[in-house]
Amino acid sequence: MAASSQPHVLVARRIFPQVVERLRECFEVDDNPTDTILERSQLVERLQGKAGAFITASERIDAALLDACPDLRAVCNMAVGFNNIDVQACSARGVMATNTPGVLTETTADLGFALLMAAARRITEGERYLRQGRWTRWTYDMFIAPDVHGSTLGILGMGRIGQAIARRGALGFGMKVIYHNRTRLAPDLEAPLAARWVEKTTLLRECDHLVLVLPYSDQTHHAIGAAELALMKPAATLTNIGRGGLVDEDALAAALQAGRLAAAGLDVFEGEPHINPKLMALPNAALTPHIGSASLRTRRAMADLAAANLIAALCGQRPPSLLNPEVFGLHSR
């Protein structure tokens, strides 16, 4: 039998079966239905002869891997963040890299605000107390906490998700919104939220509830460390739905334990899925396992967009969310 003329692609993790079938209409697909996270050597082996890869944050694409997999022409991430992809290395080798922005904005903002509420109102702490059978009577100061409504919401990183968080705070909870971003928003975006751009130090000093929605990079590594935490109010909370590396977790744990910060809500962690044991031991840390985009509709939309990117990239069309447009149309080898 003659070899198939269709490009060969790898789907590195288990995804919706309907999406795999969609890819099979265009490609020869090597998928991973057992959802085993591939070790580096296994990933390189499975990528041999593959023109494209459908990946998640579990797979690291760097220069060494690209050099070991010379047939790759596209790597398509099922995530909005892409710190697992060395985009510069991809561009140098003519490999298209894509992500899935936009489709997870509102769902991630929902989770971010839920974590803010859980941390601020001590919800997970109270639940543990109840489940442990320790609730025997009411007292006036039991799990007393600062208000969310009418307080000052600080947002570090005012992209799509940051703006969606601001909208929930301003319109739903009457919060005063301040933010810091590398570039100030246009007035027509600020106005509906009554949002005010401030310097980072002002943001940290003035906010009652801080939400991190920055992209992760070398420049934003440990954007919140001991010095930054020392500027915050002791009654303030910190919520991180960006990337774990944005926060110095040892410094955060020390601040929470010492009462220099009231509480934290974290959906992302620097060494995930391994969690800093100092954070695990703290009752005033509300922790979730990176589920910001975990609604059925959103996860399916992410998978569909990643698949659309891969199909476009290998069929001569511009992928909808191409991270390195300078390589579009070039032959990778």
For residues 151-174, average pLDDT: 97
Amino acid letter for position 264: A
> Which residues neighbour 331 within 8 Å (Cβ) at sequence distance 6 or greater?
94
* Mean pLDDT, the chain, whole residue set: 95
Do 52 and 154 lie in one domain? The reply is no
Looking up tokens 């697992």 gives 84
- From the list 307, 261, 317, 322, the residue with the least C-alpha distance to 286 is 261
39 exposed, middle or buried (CB, 10 Å; 0-12, 13-18, 19+)? exposed
Do 124 and 152 lie in one domain? The reply is yes
Determine the 3-state secondary structure of 124 from DSSP. Answer: helix
CATH of the domain at 21: 3.40.50.720
Do 269 and 303 lie in one domain? The reply is no
**53 lies in a domain?**
yes
- Residue 4's pLDDT band (cuts 50, 70, 90): low
**Count of structural domains, the chain:** 2
Do 277 and 307 lie in one domain? The reply is no
Amino acid letter for position 87: V
Do 168 and 151 lie in one domain? The reply is yes
Question: What range does the domain containing 86 cover?
Answer: 8-102+296-327
Do 198 and 243 lie in one domain? The reply is yes
Do 192 and 94 lie in one domain? The reply is no
**333 lies in a domain?**
no
Q: CA-CA distance, 141 to 330, in Å (whole number)?
A: 65
Q: Is the pLDDT of residue 81 over 90?
A: no
**1 lies in a domain?**
no
Tell me the whole-structure pTM to 2 decimals.
0.91
**159 lies in a domain?**
yes
- Residue 207's pLDDT band (cuts 50, 70, 90): very high
Q: Is the pLDDT of residue 75 over 50?
A: yes
> Would you state the pLDDT for residue 197?
97
Looking up tokens 């309907």 gives 18
Q: CA-CA distance, 294 to 112, in Å (whole number)?
A: 12
**70 lies in a domain?**
yes
Give φ, ψ of 188 to 5 degrees. Answer: -70, -20
Helices 17-24 and 296-314: crossing angle in degrees, nearest 10, is 10
> Which residues neighbour 257 within 8 Å (Cβ) at sequence distance 6 or greater?
278, 282
Q: Count of H helices and E strands in the chain?
A: 14, 12
Do 89 and 121 lie in one domain? The reply is no
For residues 176-195, average pLDDT: 95
Do 142 and 243 lie in one domain? The reply is yes
Residues acting as catalytic residues:
243, 272, 290
For residues 49-62, average pLDDT: 96
